[in-house]
A and B are shown apart, each in its own frame.
Chain A
Amino acid sequence: MKLKIYAKRLVSALLTAVVLATGVGSVAEASSLPYSSYNYTYWEDIVFTPAAYVPRSSVSGTRLEFGGESIGAFVNPQDLCKSPSGDIFVADTGNNRIVVLNSDMTQVINIVTSFDNNGMEDTFNAPYGVAVSDSNQLYIADSQNRRIVVLNKDGSLARIIENPTSEALEDGFVFTPLKVAVDYADRVYCIAQKMYEGIMVFETNNEFAGFFGTISVDITLWEKFWRKIATKEERSKSQLFIPTEFTGIDIDPSGFVYASNIDSNAIQGVRRLNPKGEDVIKKGANENLGGDLQYEGNTDYSGPSQFTDVVYRNNGIYSCLDRKRGRIFTYDHEGNLLYIFGGMGTQAGTFSMPVAIEDVGGYIVVLDAARAEISYFEPTEYGKLINEAVSLRYDGDEAQAVEIWKQVLILDENNELANTGIGKAYLTAGDYEEAMKYLELGRARDYYSVAFKRFRNDVLTANANVFLTGAAIVIAAFVVYKQVKKRRKGERRNG
């Protein structure tokens, strides 16, 4: 008997060893990521998820060659963008040049350092932002030369935007463009330094057309009260109520402008501006587009997320880059937070001063100014599935999305979006009970209510005869009871 127990124990120990030996590899792989991937639940709790994107490689100037020579390290690069053909343009601000890389960033295609300005050779001074239009024109925010330079594909000068004049601009205003973007009509959107009124818009004739997407300042009643009772001296010392500046800008194919800004209240760090300059972004269930929901504490690492750049990816998905904790927050067109990844640090896949983000064929590319490096992230199966499902839903193909959402659920059982997606499909298919089950897990109150109402209706119609008979019996019983009681009372009075 004892021998048997020993044998059993031995077998179980061996099995455990085998499981551990084979399992350790995958565990180590999962934890080898330098950051943790997480998301927020309906109750704003942190829940850890599988990684959506993992670092694949990083690119620095020292390892790149052009014409047989190393191009040298980037110096304080500030922006990168993607051309319609997939080339990547890096604004190498400290070296006063624009470096053009191929789409997988292994080769240098071109280096733009100068251009022909009416017969004179002209150079850049701290080019801070770059953009490429649909017609492959290159837009460079030449910040210290106070101008935006537009070059044709062959490197010849197309136009220069400088010295904007308008009644709206203060006297002595110095135009320092930082970030640029250009839409399908070649209108130029520019974020300029200390320009709190909003994004500056320039028409194709280089004229300053006006401000765009001004962020209004909300002063609370309490602040108004304090300003009222403060003395003049105190008021001059207190900080001014100025709107926050925009930090990054991107334009989607239909001409809507995505602009990131720093919100000290951590509520809205990104805007989607329609052609009139109104914010039309959709916020999700928790009415938040500000990155991290939990950021308490008083260390350098705590505090609201600070979105420094935004990229519109496709099918309504956009990603925001947080320079506070180096995280990338991805939202869908309904404002649902899809996944979070990235972090601060010195390992590959983390950042020390992230400044710009771009989507290159499904890969996410982040530019780090301090490390003068470009990090390259590739989607995992989990990330790909979510992207695909959200894209299908964006196209209105909810039925097809279900299969993908089910695969997401295998990887991440508590994914609320997946549960909601499946629930919605059951709802359209007419299976209200299943729909309610999934929609409750997804905590989608509105869709749950729709399913519940129909379910309730079905139950009521199916059992109408039971309910009606029951009600009739109850009423009859009540009437009889009253009669009997009356008669008894009468009898008692008589007797």
Chain B
Amino acid sequence: MIYLILLLVFGLIMIIMAFTAIHHKNLQVAVIASGIISLLASVVYVFLAAPDVAITEASIGSALTVVIFFYVLNKIRRSNDQE
């Protein structure tokens, strides 16, 4: 029962974060929100007895992807500054 409640809470936070990622004006906030989705998704995978997928999701979804997005955002901002 407690697992079900936790899963529902995580699902709700994930949906809110997804809306934030789409609609927020600041791109950095949007990227961090998408990282939070991956982090919570990995916790949900552990609850659903899929630890393999959880490790992949945590390290790729919430670490590497966010860092790549930030590098690309930086690159875009710099090339905008130069013009």
A and B part of one assembly? no
